[in-house]
Structure 1
């Protein structure tokens, strides 16, 4: 099966019409139509139905779309990995980071670039679960993740993190964390973009028997902290992430369910010299004396 045919199918399904899909693929609309027709001929059925409101997958199209999307993603991952390997594995790194490592990851990249100025580093904000998946698929070289991880993943532990309660500067902290959570209510991260962190927050609240009012949900930590600074309410945040914005007060959450470890993770059994140099940069930034 030609990948351009699968890409055409996925593009039309995603964009909902042939015109937008053709522009995204940089082909003419008649050429795109022929590609869809060729794919339908290969599979022996109609995949897309055109109407006044664009193009929508048929029942057959809906059934095959996940497989087509998976095939395209796998081919893209193969191409990316092949480019890295044919470049000697020494000219670029793909690195992930998450909420708990929003402070240490950029510092590590800056230190690494100082040591290896010729290497290009792509830094993507991803949940720990997504990072681990992409590490195993070869789409990331390294990732800053929360522990624990499975045994097929190598790690360099970087330290602790935990929940802190962020409150506006003018709020009296004396009542204590749990009382303030009850009184102020919480601004919460959305689960879709931060599943691991939200699960940790939920576990802590359940452990202490709290069911607070959820005042608002936001997709990123910067928005959460901005809402706290504006006086909307309180928020449970990563201790490391909470330091990125002034204008609020951070109160430590003294409960075992509110603590975890963070690490740099990779899956290469024989790391390239470039990856080894990146790991060493992370170790130095964290002040960690662990050996590879």
Structure 2
């Protein structure tokens, strides 16, 4: 198996046809077909099939595509690490951020990278926590902002901030009262619109509720922050979340947030990298900048409900 075969296969999947991939790769189509056939023979499985939509990966092809991407990225990182200057890092850095943290961190970080390291190309992806963990393990991303649930021992972990979770509902919701603090048992009486269990926030909430001897009986599971916001605005229920992903709506007065009494519901936000794959100079520079930006956001109060852990 050769690296060029991996590049060819990824290009075919990305472009959806042999002819388009051949043009992009600047090779003739018969040569591309031959390389694909050799790769399939070596693996003992069909990787692609023709359909009305073009060339699509088989189940085996989908699995191989993820590994091929990870291998090609690590090779690119290795080349960059050799070529980079420590004083002027360059190259591509892939950073993953969960949906519920991107509202506070993503834009300030993008601006900071452009200001401090214009020659670094930052590829930022917003995903569920479980997806980010898998991508970090496989090497498809260099860094990931994750929530410390005690299960991150396989990564190099740097603490960032601790976020308080609050009871949030539409400003005129039927599920609110005039209390300044909502007791946990009262908060659980409303239909709760929460991310699914694969999301980093949900297990933390479930654990705190169990420790208090209570249970969540009426839940609407929604994994999209945009859809969750729409459900809150339709007054289908309330939520328990950090303020960050709903900050714009709270600032406009469309949603309100209340502290939760009787239990301290917080989550620790950390920055993770692989223990097995060395960071390039560019990735190391972005790692330091993420921590610096998080510290500044806490100090200025722009990351509401967050306390610096550094």
Give the TM-score normalised by structure 1.
Answer: 0.70
| Structure 2: unaligned runs, 5 residues or longer | 300-307
Equivalent residue number for residue 150 of structure 1: 153
Q: Determine whether 1:235 maps to 2:239.
A: yes
SS in 2 for 1:121: strand
CA distance in 2, matches of 1:252, 1:285: 21
Q: 1:76 Cα shift?
A: 2.4
CA distance in 2, matches of 1:51, 1:118: 40
CA distance in 1, matches of 2:144, 2:210: 29
- Is the 1:135–1:143 contact (alpha carbons within 8 Å) kept by the matching residues of 2? yes
CA gap 1:226/1:271 in 2 versus in 1, 3 angstroms? same
SS in 2 for 1:212: coil
CA gap 1:277/1:47 in 2 versus in 1, 3 angstroms? closer
1:274 maps to which of 257, 277, 285: 285
CA distance in 1, matches of 2:309, 2:199: 31
- Is the 1:100–1:161 contact (alpha carbons within 8 Å) kept by the matching residues of 2? no
- Is the 1:49–1:56 contact (alpha carbons within 8 Å) kept by the matching residues of 2? yes
1:78 maps to which of 55, 74, 93: 74
SS in 2 for 1:243: helix
CA gap 1:4/1:108 in 2 versus in 1, 3 angstroms? closer
| Structure 1: unaligned runs, 5 residues or longer | none
- Is the 2:168–2:241 contact (alpha carbons within 8 Å) kept by the matching residues of 1? yes
- Is the 2:162–2:309 contact (alpha carbons within 8 Å) kept by the matching residues of 1? no
CA distance in 2, matches of 1:101, 1:52: 39
* RMSD of equivalent CA atoms: 4.2
Q: How many residues of Structure 1 are paired with residues of Structure 2 in the alignment? A: 277
CA distance in 2, matches of 1:180, 1:276: 37
Q: Determine whether 1:166 maps to 2:165.
A: no
CA distance in 2, matches of 1:23, 1:237: 48
CA distance in 2, matches of 1:271, 1:4: 23
* Worse-matched range after superposition: 202-211 or 2-11: 2-11
CA distance in 1, matches of 2:127, 2:288: 22
SS in 2 for 1:78: helix
Alignment map for 1:92-111 (pairs within 5 Å):
92=91, 93-102=93-102, 103-111=104-112
CA gap 1:26/1:254 in 2 versus in 1, 3 angstroms? farther
1:188 maps to which of 194, 197, 204: 194
